[in-house]
Structure 1
Amino acid sequence: MKMFTGAYFYKLLIFFIIVGFIPLFIIGTFLYGFSSRELRNMIYEQTNSYVMQVHDNIDELLKDNERSIEALYEDEQIRQVLLGKLSKEEAYHDIYEKIYFLMAAKKNKSPVYILNTEGDLIFATHSLVEAYNLKIYSNWGIFRKAVEAEGETVFYGHNYLDSDQNSIVLSMGKAIFHEGVNIGYIIIDISRNAILDTLNTSQNAAPFNTILVDEHFYVMVNQKNPFEEGNFLNQTYQDYITDASKNAYWTTIDENPYLLLRDTSTKFNISTITLVPLDIIMKNDQFIKSIILWGCVISLIVCIVVALFLARNIANPINVLVKAMRDVEKGDLTVEVDFQRSDEIGVLGISFNRMVKRLRKLMSNIIEKQQRIRVSEVKLLQAQINPHFLYNSLDCIKWMAKLNQVEEVSTITTHLGKLLRNSINIGDEFTTVEECINLIKSYLYIQQIRVGDKLTTEMEIDNKILKEKIPKLILQPIVENAIIHGLEQKEEDGLVRILGYEEDQHIILQVIDNGKGMEKEDIKRINQPSLSEEHIGLYNVNKRLKLYYGSRNGIQIESNLNEGTIVTIRIPQK
């Protein structure tokens, strides 16, 4: 028996799969969002920590150089040389020794320049570069900025190579004033390497890119893209920096996701911009998606297996019960189910078995009762037939006795005895076709004694059906009806033909007469006992056939007034 064909099983299967998969999908989606958010937060915290550290390191670098400038600014010998009160040769040794001690602790020795207002190099650790030619740039660049600052240290972005071919990206300078008059300049250059060393000491393994810009968005350092140094910052980045309400942005650059963090030094007015490519998040997202996808696939398989087990555990007994109910519907009351379960389905199976057992007992009682009723009705109908026929036969014998036809009386009495003996023996309700025909011959003999040569009979009985069983006394009433009601009221000679043959697994018996026939209304009244007293024999035979073989069976009458009658009996072969 196929257990998986019922819709109930598939409904349970789909329900269990959905119930098992939806929580997994929700949890997976939540974990994916949570892990992505946590990774973003981790990257932000890590980057922000790096930016703050870079900011502190650069501030410290600039403050250290600022202290060096202040130390040189306060040196009296330098002032005396710039005022012309002391020759630089006389102060050369002391000043260079001081500069040496100021720069000795630094990894990257920054170039130091001390110039007078005429552009003459008073003291320097490197050869003077063209960018500090006062004859050209006296009112430009760092010199102009230093004068305007009136004794404050200023910063100026550069992009040139010093005499040692080091890339200079930032200069710190201060104008030296004496009694309100500018007498010279102190300049310290900061190389790109010095900035990168500061970044590298702060940076971990993350692929950060740090950009340093001044207040005019001039790019002094671009860690990953040095070719952009010496240019102004991209307008998109400028928009981010000018938005003072935020210091972190999740953005897209060239269709790639980035985290952008900025920090601006309030003291030095230098902004540090850090770009973090988020491809690590994308890779992590893909990794998480893969894990969740495989988890879903594996879980779906597990859900399907578990759902199959649960659905089959519930649906199989239901399918067994449905099949058993269909068998009961078809009439099989011997079916039982055995679930061997103690749950509600087991209780349902026990209740079903009890119900079938009660139905079986009830049906047995009903069948037994119906059998008794049917036997009683058949015997009653037989009892109705016998007096009717007996009256007709005795009437015939009476007239023969009056006519002193002793031999004929003896013969007819013998035939009548056969008929009565067959009628009285009601223990057996069936007889063979052969016995039935013999009784019909006895009956016809009696009738021919009554009516003489006016009655002609013909019989055509197939030998194949002679041993077939048929109900007793179903043919004689029809023959009697043909003679009494069909032929006796006819002046011409009457003919009664009796046919018997086999057709479509049925025994066909026909009684054909050429009597006066029947009207359509008379035929309809055959099934109504109160209206068919004239044809009580036909009614009794029809009723008995229906009791024996069901309501679809009975006699079939074909007749027209003054054209004779054909009565056909169809009996199923056993």
Structure 2
Amino acid sequence: MNTFEKVKIFFFTHRYFIKLLTVYFLTSLLVLCTFIIVFDRLFESISNNYIYKKEKEWAIKTGNSIEVMMGDYSSLLQDLAKNKGIQDFFLQKETDLEARSLIEQTINDYILFNKGFEEIHIIGIDISRRISSGYIPNIYLYRNWGILYNMTKDEQRNNFFFASRYRGINGEYTCLSVATKVFSPEGKLIAYIILDVYTSRITALLNQANPSQGNINLTDQNNYIQYSNSNQFEEGQIYQRPSEQDYNYHFEVPLIQDKFTFNYDIKNSYFKLLNRELGKMSFILLLLSMLISILIASFFSSNLQKPINKLINAMKIVGKGDLNVQLDLRKRNDLHELETEFNLLVRRFKNLNEENLESERLMHQAQISSLQAQIKPHFIYNILATLRGMVYYSSPDDVAELITNLTKLLRNTFDFSNKLKTLEWHLSIVQCYVDIQNKRFSDKFNLIIESDQKSLSCLMLPLLIQPIVENSISHGLEDKIGDCHISIQTWVKEDYLFIKIEDNGTGIDPETVRRINEGDTTFFQNHIGFGNVKKRLAYFYDQECYISLESKVGEGTTVKLKIQYFQN
């Protein structure tokens, strides 16, 4: 055997593997290239639309918040300027220490924001008399004397915004200031009030806004930096807008009567690098991969796709429960062996299904009988507990009467024929049980039954209602002081019987209600009644039937049942 024949046999033996591997590799390459282009366009779209819009909105919002803050400070100073104590202090010729102390307290009371974020200075027109929340250094007077001079000359405006950078009493630098005039009752200018905002106040405001990683610079009209979130600038430094190759976005928001500008810069190096690297070969590689994948997949799948589709359709039919389907084996193809085994498998499934249906029917019947037998000892335990209580608290005649009623109740309840009986019969047993309990508890329980004739004729499993009533008495009403009511309502709707059992007992906490409705097996180990009813409903009735519990602590409990309507 020559080399050519060996290679031919190898490819024939591994033909399915080679076909699928080729298609998978080319498809993976196609998907990869598609994702590269999609993500490139997605990142670019996010950068140009979402991020730009989001950062622009943030810059405008943050700038407006700074302007609102300064507006609040301006309103504060206007109110402070109308304070009569301040006016009287600066009209006096001699300094009154007591009046000065009151004014200092007034300043502290007028601070709108947290202490430590600003300082307030009140300076007379002759500068000799002044009051401050901190101290007024000479350099401060020198720098702002021009501002005070301009305020004196400008009779049209009462409020002025400006930059004033100096180290305050707490060691921090100030950045923004607002000043207003103080007039006497006769309208004469007598003093100025200046509020200086520390940089920490601006920083706190920006931290509340949660900005992205960008540079923030607050500049005045001469483009000098008065605040920077990087804190890496020198006094008198001029702000320089970064070049486009280092930053992608630059936002400017004018503030406070155009006295200041809020500058916000965002880097974009990641998006530029991504666009440059991914955009070089992605488009050509995508077209080439698509062409090769289409040609090879079409060639190799010509004799494979049709039988696969036929097999898939047959499997869907089997999945819906039809086990009579068989594939036509007269025409051979690449999947002939698989189709043959499929037909054999379906026939085996059909035989096993018929056997399992019979086994399931017998097991189902045994499970119902087992659960029903489990509830009967549970009922006996509760009755014996009632009888035991009667022996201690009742007369011999009452005990004898109770035993007579109990005999009647047991004779009707423990019918081991497992035959379905009418709802009317079950309600009579419940009434008998409540009468027995009333013998023990001196007519404490009031049972109300509301049923129409159609629902009373419904046939149902034994011991579905009685365990629920037992639980209402033993867990909800037995220890309650006052009237104890149990209500049973039944009605028929769309071939189903609905039963609603309510009591006004002590109720159940939400966590226990959740565990009961979710079928917590650990809970039902010690609470047989409800769990037993739930299991027997699941085994005997269809999936539409259920039992549910609702309860509120201190208000009572409601149990709802839905079962199929059976009639003779």
When normalised by structure 2's length, the TM-score is: 0.43
